Chains A and B, each alone.
Chain A
Amino acid sequence: MTRVRVYVTLKPSLLDSAGRTVSGALQKLGYSELQQTRIGRLIELELDPYDEARVKEMCDKLLANPVIEDYRVEVVE
């Protein structure tokens, strides 16, 4: 069994309006050093067998939308 993490993030050029709200809340809590907050999504997959190309396919077909998102795959164990 292989555990894989897929990190999906909004493209940097797009406004993350939820992230902006979180930034505002953290700044109100006194964290004035905070410059920006971006919220993404972590998807954990367990696979047996693990095939890198097939995981990439899963990302391209469903897990991420290339119009608005980037993704990165990390094999955990």
Chain B
Amino acid sequence: MKVAVLKFPGSNCDQDAYFALRDDLKIGAEYVWHEDTSLAGYDAVFIPGGFSYGDYLRCGAMAARAPIMAEVTRFAKEGRPVIGACNGFQILCEAGLLPGALLLNEGQKFLCKDVYLKAETKRSLWTEGVDHVLRIPIAHGEGRYVVDSDTLARLEDNEQVAFRYVSPDGSRIAEFNANGSADAIAGVLNEKGNVLGLMPHPERATKPQLGYTDGLQILNGLKLVTSNL
């Protein structure tokens, strides 16, 4: 089992992802440069957070057109696991691998705080092991998920809403939807459920020493992949 951790100019959560996978999940991880064109030998892809290309034009816009993304698209279409957190989520939306887009937070502020997440479906490797409300940090200025109403209805019908922002006890309360996302959506899946994008950072929540371990509930899904090989 080996995960490709993509690196774009301006990625800054690549090392968090790499060490979380290697040290806390005990699975293989290697960096893959944005100009590379092959994912041969990798079983999953982690698109990390950061400010790829300085967020110029739109967050994730340039990264979504980098050479490696054509290969990520092919990989995703084969049904293999791809996760994008924060800027990684923005990149997946810009690349058309996930529906919707991320806009400036409703209150404009960059938000760096804990959020509480409820998994809304069991039908993906990323959510099937989640058994309680997760406490995971966010750190973003542009995390307000938007999507047109037809697509939103389709996301609901297909169980593509992966996570919602909720209160610590799991209730839908507006004030816990920190960035003003449509329907309090924090993370979405593609139709097959193999591609997950989310604004919170599971890779920053894998160590008891840092006070967070709930990220493991999401990333442990990668271990299901190993056992299937």
Bits for A34-73, please: 1 = Cβ < 8 Å to B, else 0.
Answer: 0000000000000000000000000001110101100000
User: Which of B147-182 touch A at CB < 8 Å?
Assistant: 147-148, 180
Whether the pair A68, B61 counts as a contact (CB closer than 8 A) is: no
* Candidates A18, A21, A62; contact of B61 at CB < 8 Å: A62
Whether the pair B146, A62 counts as a contact (CB closer than 8 A) is: no
A17 interface residue (CB < 8 Å to B): yes
- Which segment, of B74-82, B103-111, B115-123, B185-193, faces chain A? B103-111
The answer to whether A63 and B57 touch (CB under 8 A), given A17-B104, A21-B108, is yes
The answer to whether A67 and B101 touch (CB under 8 A), given A14-B146, A17-B108, is yes
* Candidates A10, A14, A18, A61; contact of B65 at CB < 8 Å: A61
Most interface-central of A18, A61, A67 (chain B CB within 10 A) = A67
| Bound: A68/B57 CA distance, A | 13
Within the complex, the shortest CB–CB distance from B93 to chain A, in Å, comes to: 7
Bits for A1-31, please: 1 = Cβ < 8 Å to B, else 0.
Answer: 0000000001001110110010000000000
| Bound: A8/B226 CA distance, A | 45
| Bound: A25/B100 CA distance, A | 30
Whether the pair B100, A14 counts as a contact (CB closer than 8 A) is: no
Within the complex, the shortest CB–CB distance from A68 to chain B, in Å, comes to: 5
Chain A interfacial residues counted at CB < 8 A: 13
| Bound: A17/B105 CA distance, A | 7
B99 to A, closest residue via Cβ = A67
Whether the pair B94, A14 counts as a contact (CB closer than 8 A) is: no
- Chain B residues in 8 Å Cβ range of A13: 148
* Candidates A21, A63, A68; contact of B103 at CB < 8 Å: A68
Whether the pair B101, A65 counts as a contact (CB closer than 8 A) is: yes
* Candidates B65, B144, B180; contact of A62 at CB < 8 Å: B65
B58 interface residue (CB < 8 Å to A): yes
| Bound: A65/B100 CA distance, A | 10
- Chain B residues in 8 Å Cβ range of A17: 103-108, 144, 180
| Bound: A61/B62 CA distance, A | 10
| Bound: A67/B90 CA distance, A | 13
- Chain A residues in 8 Å Cβ range of B104: 17-18
- Chain B residues in 8 Å Cβ range of A14: 103, 146
Most interface-central of B58, B93, B108, B147 (chain A CB within 10 A) = B58
Selected A-B contacts with CB under 8 Å, 16 pairs: A10-B103, A13-B148, A14-B103, A15-B106, A15-B180, A17-B105, A17-B108, A17-B144, A62-B57, A65-B61, A65-B94, A67-B93, A67-B99, A67-B100, A67-B147, A68-B146
